[in-house]
Amino acid sequence: MANKQQYAEKARSMAAIFANLADDLMGWRNAFFDRGYGGAAINELVDGDVAGAGVTAADVSGMISFADALEAFWVANRGYISKMRNDL
């Protein structure tokens, strides 16, 4: 029984970690658009802006695409993850 309890607690812990990361990623993605960093935007992010981070503007845009996909997953599963998370 103790192993099963620990197993369930680990699931709750991972749900909380995932939810917190998703929350952070969504905030980061929203700032991208709020600051006008998107392609053809007034303050478009270019390679020179991010070279010091060791990535390209396309790499950052790829993370935006990932964040969009995660949001779609999140919307479909929010009730479940919210039930499982134990950090609130």
What confidence tens digit (pLDDT) does each residue in 5-38 have?
999 999 999 999 989 999 999 999 999 999 999 8
Question: What pLDDT, on the 0 to 100 scale, is given for residue 88?
Answer: 65
* CA distances for 68 relative to 25, 33, 63, angstroms: 10, 12, 9
- CA angle at 63 for the pair 61 and 66, rounded to the nearest 5°: 115
Q: How many CB atoms lie within 10 A of CB 37?
A: 20
| pTM recorded for the entire structure | 0.79
In this predicted structure, the answer to whether residue 79 has a pLDDT above a threshold of 90 is: no
Average predicted confidence (pLDDT) for the chain: 91
